[in-house]
Structure 1
């Protein structure tokens, strides 16, 4: 069985999990506490980061985008990166938006400060960073709402990796109760559609010891 080394609330790991599940590719999850710097893991990925996908034949693929590119090439029956050059360019642009701009402005300022920092023993949350995260969230929710109102899915007419990248970040933030869904009804409705997909069941079943999600977290009709 192929193995995905992950951290449960990492949006990058969640993106890969969603892609694997959407493509119906069997895999097992293994939590990797990267801060422990396990030598066996760092032999697989010298960068010491997750996610890392270990295939049954021993092939190791590290980095969430590299894994998703690999999955689309190795299992092309359900493409998530688009079919035409234009579609693929737009999917890539939006994946970069969510994994770059959204992560730097929102996810890092909220998830890292409220959860990851405590996990790593790096002190108390930075109130300034958290305020910046909440402020930036409005812009991003507006943008997601704009895309959802004007397209069938975020990148166009087909469900794509762009939807999974956005949903991965939002699901991690929603677990800690930090998504202001009232900011955008179209964004809320799009995410409700994402939560209703079978591939989301594993993510919605996540539970972190000592950190319970809000009641609506697992409810597709929230």
Structure 2
């Protein structure tokens, strides 16, 4: 069986977990704290970043969330997540890059640093200016998702895709850390509520980090 080396609030780990669950791929979780610098984990992934997948029976190691998702798209037929025409597949990949890079850099990364790493590792208070800027940029990203949902059933088109998984993974971490103000984003809230109701998403909503607790609405599928 696959062993997924991951961190609970790593959005890229969450994206892979969602994809594997949607495709019915069995795996066991193995927690890696990003601040530990484990030599054993570095042997699996020299980049030192989660997620990484290891199947000892197959002697196979997969690293980087996009590479992992592409691997399963090519090897598991169930529930394709990069589907449709060539143009649709290009749009899916564009949006995955947008959420993995822009949303993460603008919103998720600063929230993780200020509200998680500073508290658990550095023992420092968060910088309120950086938090305000991250929440402001979160609004900009949610407005764009509102626009997409106004024009499409799912983010990249007529079917759920890896773009939806990538966006939901980033939003779920930002929401856990109190960085999402849902006011004025009814389209995105409705899309996300549907996503939260999926069986693949429920394990994520039930997990809690030590010390850091999410807002009350976090696990409410109707919120």
Same fold? TM cut 0.5: yes
Report which stretch shifted further, 23-32 or 207-216.
207-216
Q: Does 1:58 align with 2:56?
A: no
Question: What CA deviation, in whole Å up to 9, does each residue of 1:165-205 have, x standing for no partner?
Answer: 11001111111222111131000000001001111011111
Q: Does 1:198 align with 2:186?
A: no
For residues 29 and 70 of structure 2, the distance between their equivalents in structure 1, rounded to whole angstroms, comes to 19
Q: Does 1:211 align with 2:212?
A: yes
Partner of 1:17: 17
Partner of 1:100: 101
Aligned pairs, number: 222
Partner of 1:80: 81
2:156 touches 2:163 (CA, 8 Å); kept in 1?
yes
Partner of 1:34: 34
Q: Which has the higher helix share?
A: 1
Shift of residue 7, structure 1, vs aligned partner: 0.6
Question: What CA deviation, in whole Å up to 9, does each residue of 1:79-114 have, x standing for no partner?
Answer: 111232111100000000011111111112223211
2:134 touches 2:179 (CA, 8 Å); kept in 1?
no
Partner of 2:126: 125
Once the two structures are superposed, the pairs formed by residues 155-170 of structure 1 within 5 Å of their partners are 155-170=156-171
Question: What CA deviation, in whole Å up to 9, does each residue of 1:103-126 have, x standing for no partner?
Answer: 111112223211133233273323
2:111 touches 2:174 (CA, 8 Å); kept in 1?
yes
Question: What CA deviation, in whole Å up to 9, does each residue of 1:34-79 have, x standing for no partner?
Answer: 3222222111111111000112412101111111111111112221
Report which stretch shifted further, 75-84 or 180-189.
75-84
Q: Secondary structure at 1:199's aligned position in 2?
A: coil
Misfit runs of 4+, over 3 Å: none
TM-score, normalised to structure 2, is 0.95
Report which stretch shifted further, 41-50 or 210-219.
210-219
Unaligned residue ranges in structure 2 (runs of 5+) = none
For residues 96 and 106 of structure 1, the distance between their equivalents in structure 2, rounded to whole angstroms, comes to 14
Q: CA RMSD in A?
A: 1.4
Unaligned residue ranges in structure 1 (runs of 5+) = none
Q: Secondary structure at 1:217's aligned position in 2?
A: coil
